[in-house]
Structures are given as C-alpha cells and as structure tokens.
Amino acid sequence: MLELMVGEFGTLFYGVNAVGRSIEIPRSTTIQIFEKASIINPSLSSNALGLYTMVPVGRDGEAVFGYFGNPRFNLRARSKRCAFNQTSCGMDFGIEKIPTCAIQLQNKFCVDMLWNTCWQKLLGIGSGVRDWNSTQEAAMLLAKLVNKIMQGVGNDVYDLITYGGHPYIQKAHEEEWYKLCGISKERWMCFYEMMMACGGHLTAIDTLKIVNKLPQLNTNYIKRSDVKGRKFIGDAMKLFDAIKDNATQKLNQFQKQMSMAEMPMIVGSANPDGQLIMGVTQGIFDRYKEQIKQIFKGINAGYYITLHGEDHGCIDCGSRRLRGVLEYDGCLVVCKPEWSLLDQMTCIHSHRALLMAPGVLGIAYDVPLTEQRDGMGMSITNWTMDPHKGETYVSADFRIGAAILDPDYIAGDCYFLEPGEAMAA
C-alpha cells in the first residue's frame, strides 16, 4: 500500500488489486470511471507452488548458490594391516552464480493530457489546470494513474523473468511478424526493448534444449498433427507420460525422496507436499480436461487440488479449489495462461509442457520481490512548481536475474507454430 499526499486534501491511499474496478468522482456532474479488466500476472513472491528459489544479491549484483551432494561409494573391505586408507570418492561441492541485469523504469505524464477533453472538468480553474492537486477529483485520478503503472510494472517483471531475451522475440523483430497480429511498430518497440533487457526462465530452458541438446528437454513427443492453431488435439496424458519417462533419474526419484519425513521440502502454500509441477500452456491444459471428462463424464473431485494452509488456520480453506490446477500421477498440472503473451506479441502459437521440481527456478534480486505489485521501489515526483508544474515523474532502478538451478530437475517438450504454419493450421 502506497500513499500520495494531495495538498490540502490530505493523504490518498492506494494499492493494486484485481477487485476494485470502478471509482466515482463526485462533481457537479458525476463521472463514472470504469477501468478495463486488468490482467494481473502471478506474484513471484507468493510462490504458491514453491517453484522459485529466491536469493537477494548484494552490491556486487550477483547471487551465489552453493550446493553439495551426498558422498557415495565410501565403503571398502577391511584392510589387512593397521593403516588409514581414505577413499578418493569424497563430498561433491559446487557453486552456481546468477548474474543480474540492471533494469530501470522511467515514465512521465503531464496534466495537459486532460486538456480540451471532458476530463478537464476534473481540474481546477485558472492556473489550476496545470496542477494535479488543484482539486480532490484530479488528485484521485492521479492516484489511479499511478496505481495502473504499479500494476503494469508488476506484470512486466513477471514477463521479463519468464521469457526475456527469447529467440522468437528477436526473430519476430527481424521478420516483422508482429504486424500479422495487428501490433503497431510503436507498441512492438516498447515490448522488444523491454524483453531484450534480460534473460528469462523459458529462454534458458529453450537454450538448454536447442543449444545444449539436453535429452530430458528433447522428448519430441508433440508432432505437427497434435496441434491446430492454439488448440492441442493430441493425447495430453500420453504427453505427460512421455515427459516423465524421458526425465532424469534424479527427477523421477525426487517425489519419493520428498515424501520422506527427514527430507527438507521447498514448498508453497498450495503445494505442501512438494509435488512435482507440470506447467502447461492453455491448449494442453484444455485437452487434459477434455480427456478427463471423456473418462468420467465430468471431472472427478480427486483430480482437483485444494488450498491448504494458505490462510493459516482457516477452517474452510481445505475445500477451496485452486483454479487452473489439476492432478496427474502425483504431479500438479498447472495451466500457465500467462505464458501466452509471447504468442500474442510474436504471432506464434506455442505448445509447452514442463515437469519441474519445486525450487528449480532461481531468481536473484536486489529490490525485494514483495515490491513486484508496488512498483519495485519506484519513486514518484509530482511537481507543483514551475517550470515542471503539472508533470509527474515515475522512476525505479533494480537488478534481477533468472536461472535454472539444476537442469537435472526439469524435463519437458514443446512445439512452436510460426505464423505461416499457424495460418495454415
């Protein structure tokens, strides 16, 4: 929750939420302001499914993750003499570093955008037309504008950390695919410049698949005949089985290990047992639902996942179903509609299923991710004196980085329809 001083009118409090959709500004003629429905990407800091491992960085701008494995093959036959013969198979230590990218937010809006429109009636008279604080109504509108910027920044942080720097963004830029989706050059450049600022998790995964050619990311089950535009028409259950069969031994053993009482778990409020997570695009999730309905003439209650412990002691929480999540063979199948912005902007159709262990997606940051919905530590300067009277400046600087902490704990498959193929589908 932030607060904005509005001169003689006191303090206006505002925050980001998906519920408040309209405000009423009383005046001689009441103006109803209805906001467009806001798309709010998931909160990284809430980490409800436990997917993320988040580590703050210091002034060196780098997060360091240390790891060590259990020593194996330590035992030998007893020696025949009094000697100490240590084995050479000791503890395995390692260090992984996540470099971070320097990110900035710089925005400005001026009160003159209201001039010569019906909105000007919200401003004061005389020199008040240059001052957001000239009336309570104008100050309330300014608060809502700042609220929308905070919401947009929160979405941008998620998008950047998910598929920033993806090769298909560069290809769409070079071949101007965005025009096929009705995206203007100005809007595309805003998107392109932001997404080239840092690399995201899906970008890293596709690099491991294509460049490093990791077998567990090259299941190659999805075929051209399995997709039709945005729809997945193949067998989703067989796809999940193929991914699990192609996963590393470490990932396949993970579920059993996490169920042992002495094993520490990286979990979220909606995944208290530390189950593996199968993140899927909308088309694959819809196909899975369709297959379940064909088997059970509906979706059996056992396939739903409920929230446990999210409200810390709420008696009725256990019966509250988690939207967009079903279960399959001990895994949580999670619909990821937020992955679709890449498709919307580049005019491709992507179909993806990723099997992940909790905590495998690493995020390094300096500004706490609890600030994701509150502007990432942004400062707001509302000028009330010449020569900048009526201008509001919004700025923020922070560092953030994404990495796959251990590729052995991730497996998957994907298929991309490029614009020519998509139109023919």
- Residues 309 and 312: their CA atoms lie apart, in Å, by 5
Report which secondary-structure segment, H or E, holds 237. Answer: helix 236-246
Does the predicted TM-score (pTM) go above 0.85?
Answer: no
Asked if the peptide bond before residue 419 counts as cis, ω within 30 degrees of 0, the response is no
The whole-number pLDDT of residue 235 equals: 96
Q: Which residue has the tokens 């720097």?
A: 165
Best mean pLDDT range from 78-92, 203-217, 270-284: 203-217
Q: What tokens were used for 171? A: 């290809």
Helix (H, G, I), strand (E, B) or coil at 216: helix
Six-digit token string for 174 = 């070079």
- Looking at residue 314, its pLDDT comes to 36
C-alpha to C-alpha distance for 106 and 378, rounded to whole angstroms = 9
Q: What is the pLDDT of residue 317?
A: 42
Q: CA 377, CA 86: separation in Å to the nearest integer?
A: 53
What is the CB-side half-sphere exposure of residue 136 using CA atoms within 13 A? 9
Taking residues 344-355, report their average pLDDT. Answer: 94
* More confident position, 414 or 255: 414
Dihedral over Cα of 240, 242, 245, 248: its sign: negative
Look up residue 101 and give its two tokens.
Answer: 């990218």
* 212 or 85: which leads in pLDDT: 212
Euclidean distance between CA atoms 357 and 278, whole angstroms: 9
For the purposes of burial, counting CB atoms within 10 Å of the CB of 195, is it exposed (0-12), middle (13-18) or buried (19 or more)? Answer: buried
Residue 261: its pLDDT value, please?
45
Q: Which residue from 287, 306, 322, 283 is spatially nearest to 416, judged by alpha carbons?
A: 283
**Maximal C-alpha separation, the chain:** 102
pLDDT for position 47: 73
Helix (H) or strand (E) holding 282: helix 282-296
The dihedral region occupied by 375, where left means phi > 0, alpha psi between -120 and 50, and beta the remainder, is: left
Q: How confident is the model at residue 88 (pLDDT cuts 50, 70, 90)?
A: low
Cα–Cα nearest to 268, from 42, 96, 67, 66: 42
CA pair distance 57, 101, nearest whole angstrom: 11
Three-state SS annotation for 342-373: HHHHHCCEEEEEEEECCCCEEEEECCCHHHHH
pLDDT, greater one: 313 or 265: 265
What's the CA gap between 143 and 161, in Å, rounded? Answer: 27
Q: Which pLDDT value is given to residue 233? A: 95
DSSP secondary structure code for residue 208 in this structure: H
Burial 211-224 (b: 16+ CB within 10 A, else e): eeebebbbbebbee
CA distance 144 to 38: 13
What is the C-alpha separation between 305 and 326, in angstroms, rounded?
A: 6
Give the residue with greater pLDDT, 419 vs 315.
Answer: 419
Residue written as tokens 């990218």?
A: 101
